[in-house]
């Protein structure tokens, strides 16, 4: 039996991270942008991304046990396997999903192709029961790497993967928020954000502590690296969007490095894993309509109104080869698609040069700085640190707006103690020594997303995803 949850709640707002998934507003997805990493920081209410380490709260979350007040009829219902609590109406036959069910309550419905309804679940709660919002990211497209991860043939690959919920299209969010008298109230909530698996029956599951296979040759061995980690959040329902939810610095796991799996198309085999950190939600709809749909599908393209960012350290994305391009993710971001003869060029120690200059193979330079050891992670987070916008990126902050310092931090940069504190030291995208700054060691990845209400089971999946017929 799949039980409708009534003891969990919302919180916010969240991910991939940047999943390389379905179409964006122009009709395409993006390649390999993976998931976003750990919990959202102050304001975005996210929780750790796909990974986590073995032993962290990684059961994918469990439902609450019911409320303490309300009428005799509150408390929800139990659904048989293969049933979903979804909006009324006929299935939306224009939805791009290539896997069923295609009829019944679990079929895709509405403008965002949802298989469940968060608002109907909330309607079944007792007055003082906390509420839960659960989503599947339907489309996520990288917006700030147009010359690499958004090349047309990569968009085509991503769009095909999106129709089957393969890897990045199973980016799952669970947000919890307290209620009293039938309304959201200020208080403590929880968030879980992670890659998961489609169960082929209309429901989804997070990965558990033994799901990830040993891939020692590519640097990945922890069997719990894909599981979700829970983040405590502070809710203020008088605010909207990312301002509604806050994760305290001391409770925020977003400094941790996380990994997200991408599967081989149509196979139960890992293609590659994306390593990210520093997930942050930038825009999200926290209205009643946003409970159901973040964006919409018009039969051809997705409208993707939400945005989030995360950071991909070059060192941690320099080994795993992406099958479709026979390059690492670090190479893809740095050089775009290389000629076969050049694919041995390492992005980690290749001398950097100004993109567009004669003989320079770089199309984009690292622009961010991420901590590389636990001591630094305890004091500062991944952050944008390249002054001057050498990559000529649209909407890039001015030097005055970049919240970084020339000096290295000497203590904890806790914004809860000092809201004006910097995020960390600035960095040199060209990796020279003249500036006295450390070389930028990561890429910022900004993604636009659409998401739909989903039913996430309470049981984590401790195996690779099934292939839906």
- What are the residue ranges spanned by the domains of the chain? 2-71+80-316+446-456
CA–CA dist 32, 29 (Å, integer): 10
CA atoms within 13 A on the CB side of 213: 15
Res. 250 pLDDT band, cuts 50 70 90: confident
pLDDT, one tens digit per residue, over 410-426 is 999 999 999 999 999 99
Q: Which two tokens stand for residue 231?
A: 């983040």
pLDDT reported for residue 256: 83
101 preceded by a cis bond (ω within 30 of 0): yes
pLDDT reported for residue 72: 53
3-state secondary structure of 457: coil
Res. 283 pLDDT band, cuts 50 70 90: very high
Residue range 121-140: average pLDDT? Answer: 94
CA atoms within 13 A on the CB side of 150: 20
For residue 237, give the nearest of 185, 163, 171, 279 by alpha carbon. 185
pLDDT higher than 80, residue 21 = no
Q: Which two tokens stand for residue 309?
A: 């960012």
Res. 34 pLDDT band, cuts 50 70 90: very low
3-state secondary structure of 161: helix
Res. 366 pLDDT band, cuts 50 70 90: very high
Q: What is the mean pLDDT of the chain?
A: 82
Q: pTM for the whole thing?
A: 0.83
pLDDT reported for residue 73: 64
User: Length of the chain, please?
Assistant: 469
pLDDT higher than 90, residue 170 = no
For residue 451, give the nearest of 197, 167, 29, 112 by alpha carbon. 112
For residue 145, give the nearest of 428, 436, 445, 466 by alpha carbon. 445
- Give the DSSP letter of residue 216: G
pLDDT, one tens digit per residue, over 191-228 is 988 889 999 999 999 999 999 999 998 889 999 999 88
**Is residue 165 a contact partner of residue 117, using CB atoms and an 8 Å limit?**
no
């Amino acid at each position: 039996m799949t039980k409708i949850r009534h003891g969990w709640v919302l919180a916010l707002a969240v991910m991939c991270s940047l999943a390389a998934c379905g179409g964006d507003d122009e009709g395409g997805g993006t390649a390999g942008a993976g998931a976003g990493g750990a919990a959202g920081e102050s304001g975005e209410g996210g929780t750790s991304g796909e990974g986590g380490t073995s032993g962290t709260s990684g059961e994918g979350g469990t439902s609450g046990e019911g409320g303490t007040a309300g009428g005799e009829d509150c408390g929800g219902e139990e659904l048989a396997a293969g049933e979903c609590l979804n909006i009324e109406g006929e299935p939306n036959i224009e939805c791009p999903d290539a896997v069923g069910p295609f009829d019944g309550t679990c079929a895709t419905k509405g403008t965002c192709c949802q298989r469940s309804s968060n608002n109907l679940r909330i309607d079944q709660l007792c007055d003082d029961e906390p509420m839960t919002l659960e989503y599947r990211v339907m489309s996520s497209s990288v917006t700030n790497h147009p010359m690499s991860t958004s090349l047309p043939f990569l968009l085509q690959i991503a769009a095909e993967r999106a129709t089957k919920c393969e890897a990045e299209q199973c980016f799952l969010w669970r947000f919890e928020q307290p209620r009293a008298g039938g309304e959201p109230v200020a208080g403590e909530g929880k968030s879980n954000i992670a890659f998961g698996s489609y169960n082929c029956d209309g429901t989804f599951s997070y990965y558990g502590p033994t799901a990830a296979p040993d891939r020692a040759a590519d640097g990945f061995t922890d069997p719990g690296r894909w599981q979700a980690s829970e983040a405590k959040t502070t809710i203020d329902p008088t605010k909207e969007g990312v301002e509604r939810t806050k994760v305290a610095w001391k409770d925020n796991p977003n400094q941790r490095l996380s990994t997200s799996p991408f599967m081989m198309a149509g196979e139960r085999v890992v293609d590659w894993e994306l390593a990210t950190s520093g997930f942050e939600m930038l825009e999200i709809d926290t209205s009643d309509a946003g409970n159901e749909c973040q964006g919409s599908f018009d039969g051809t393209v997705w409208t993707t109104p939400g945005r989030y960012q995360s950071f991909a350290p070059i060192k941690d994305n320099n080994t795993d080869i992406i099958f479709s391009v026979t390059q690492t993710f670090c190479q893809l971001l740095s050089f775009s698609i290389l000629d076969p003869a050049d694919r041995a060029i390492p992005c980690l120690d290749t001398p950097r040069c100004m993109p567009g200059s004669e003989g320079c193979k770089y199309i984009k330079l690292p622009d961010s700085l991420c901590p590389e050891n636990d001591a630094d992670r305890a004091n500062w987070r991944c952050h944008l640190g390249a002054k001057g916008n050498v990559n000529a990126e649209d909407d890039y902050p001015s030097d005055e707006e970049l919240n970084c310092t020339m000096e290295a931090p000497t203590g904890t940069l806790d914004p809860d103690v000092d809201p004006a504190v910097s995020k960390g030291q600035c960095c040199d995208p060209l990796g020279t020594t003249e500036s006295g700054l450390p070389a930028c060691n990561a890429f910022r990845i900004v993604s636009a997303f659409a998401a739909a209400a989903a039913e996430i089971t309470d049981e984590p999946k401790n195996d690779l995803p099934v292939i839906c017929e």
